[in-house]
Structure 1
């Protein structure tokens, strides 16, 4: 019989994390541990209210899963069957699945890339994200956090200050830039006017500028956009792939949305099979979740795995960052 445990931790952030729909100074994440007295594995859940996830709800779902026989499973197939019969939200599913896979790997003296059948990654570059802020504070923020060391930078924007922020970031840092609107715009024509203001800046791509429900608007926008469009909120643990291919040039896969290593891999494979570009992103996570994302990063076009760098006093130290690159140190 396996021993499962779920612990909630409040993570204080180094500064106010503001995106187009909310702002926060503290995040509450959940940490799953599973073991048999000899080996153990750990996994992280970062609940996101955009997808109806709260710490309290995930804790309730975990308790229900325990009552349904979670401690009796002995294989990934049995775990998948249990989760099919008793579904939980994706962030919790990822925490449970990753903890169990980490446990199996330790028990069988196997690496996680070996278990998943992927190429191991010794290090990977990451973007670093600017939260929405007063554009006049961009230069000081860039200097304070040493952002020149990253290969590329990502900027959270809204309609009100987005162009001013992008302009100030480009003045403060020479790197290529990702624009992340988190669904802030409501129509493609206003977006095109925003794009016009960006034309002299070194833009890599635009991430999810409009709500995922604006299907026809995305079809219209893709035909006219001078920049690659990447889906984020439009892809969770599933997607309308036929439609998505017509709306976007790439997909940002996040393990917290995908609900686990196995589905995350499937999403990356499907993305590539459609000729779309790949990206791996994160929520506000510790190095436990980021470690897992790095394991799938071989051959991925863009990585945005800076969540652990925003957490003040990050507790686990499973990944180190040096000169804008992430180095996995120890398996969770």
Structure 2
């Protein structure tokens, strides 16, 4: 009789942001996360659930979800579909909580096999893209300070959607001519005004526009995509695999985030479907530790763009993982997702 069993542990942790993170409709200085460990025969995989406010998850909801799981019923960690189907069907929501188990399981499997996830999937690490570095909405003075931190990056993501959009872009263009992408976080509501703004942004060296209009404005968004000189990327409008088909014909591409799609297994399926539908793919993140960012980075060789700077925006990262060198995502040869804890946090 096989007595080997999976054992799950978890602990809350608060991320401290280096700067206030301001979007079209909110601002914050911290992000709650739940750190997870999945152990099998003395080998430990690490995971994480990041809980920015708009996801609707909290320490309470994630704790309740994880505490209800009985992963001890599984004696073989390689039964990935059985394990993750069980986790997914435990509740209808809790996507970030599910991702924390998915990431820990993939990390564990990689360690048991002695290989990074990207090598297990036969991805070419040389194909990782440059990652953008995020410049949140702020005053000219603070934007200038953030630009100093962004100096090594080859592409910048600028948050827009308030009444100072052009001022944000003009301030940045005073300091650098690197390519920009913009994330409007559903902040524009008039499609003609949005199109006019996109033409102006194209002149300023912007390469794509993320979630320019509300996710419910499907007809306006499809019209905007049809007429836009720049690719439009779905973010808030896209969560899980079923949403990829819905994005086709409405957006030019999708932004996949592990915290929204339940983790690495589903993210890989989303990439495959998006490629089949000729949609551009971006791998993104929330404000996260190097744990979740390194997990997402394993998928980045299959992406057109990466926005994997969430760990660079925090002051208290408990992990060492994926690095950004001269603006490019650089995967290491560490097994699993390639992270090491700086200290014991359980």
Which TM-score bucket, shorter chain as reference?
A: over 0.9
Of 70, 76, 81, the match for 2:80: 76
Q: Distance in 2 between the 1:110 and 1:71 partners?
A: 25
Gap runs ≥5 in structure 1 = none
CA 1:52–1:118: 2 relative to 1, 3 Å? farther
Q: Distance in 2 between the 1:315 and 1:25 partners?
A: 18
CA 1:120–1:41: 2 relative to 1, 3 Å? farther
Q: Is the 8 A contact 2:244 2:254 kept in 1?
A: no
Q: Distance in 2 between the 1:43 and 1:172 partners?
A: 38
Aligned to 2:214: 211
Q: Secondary structure at the match of 2:278?
A: coil
Aligned to 1:270: 273
Q: Distance in 1 between the 2:240 and 2:57 partners?
A: 14
Q: Is the 8 A contact 1:46 1:283 kept in 2?
A: yes
Deviations 1:121-160 (A, max 9, x none): 26652110101101344333312x1x23211111001231
Aligned to 1:12: 16
CA 1:85–1:240: 2 relative to 1, 3 Å? closer
Q: Distance in 1 between the 2:84 and 2:208 partners?
A: 35
Deviations 1:178-219 (A, max 9, x none): 010011112212212322432420010000011111111112
Q: Distance in 1 between the 2:315 and 2:296 partners?
A: 20
| Correspondences of 1:213-292 after superposition (within 5 Å) | 213-292=216-295
Q: Secondary structure at the match of 1:291?
A: helix
Structure 2 residue 327 is matched with structure 1 residue 327: no
Of 112, 133, 136, the match for 1:131: 136
Q: Is the 8 A contact 1:127 1:303 kept in 2?
A: yes
Q: Distance in 2 between the 1:152 and 1:318 partners?
A: 21
TM-score of the aligned structures, taking structure 2 as reference length: 0.89
Structure 2 residue 145 is matched with structure 1 residue 140: yes
Aligned to 1:93: 98
Aligned to 2:155: 152
1:235, distance to aligned residue in structure 2 (A): 1.0
| Correspondences of 1:298-309 after superposition (within 5 Å) | 298-309=301-312
Q: Distance in 1 between the 2:143 and 2:28 partners?
A: 19
| Correspondences of 1:152-231 after superposition (within 5 Å) | 152-231=155-234
Indicate the larger mover: 176-185 or 194-203. 194-203
CA 1:241–1:328: 2 relative to 1, 3 Å? closer
Q: Secondary structure at the match of 2:123?
A: coil
Aligned to 2:66: 62
Q: Secondary structure at the match of 2:162?
A: coil
Aligned to 2:296: 293
Q: Secondary structure at the match of 1:247?
A: coil
1:101, distance to aligned residue in structure 2 (A): 2.0
Structure 2 residue 110 is matched with structure 1 residue 109: no
Q: Is the 8 A contact 1:250 1:276 kept in 2?
A: yes
| Correspondences of 1:30-49 after superposition (within 5 Å) | 30-49=34-53
Q: Distance in 2 between the 1:95 and 1:84 partners?
A: 12
Deviations 1:2-28 (A, max 9, x none): 221011111111111111121111111
Q: Is the 8 A contact 1:148 1:175 kept in 2?
A: no
Q: Distance in 2 between the 1:247 and 1:213 partners?
A: 11
Aligned-residue Cα RMSD (Å) equals 1.8
TM-score of the aligned structures, taking structure 1 as reference length: 0.92
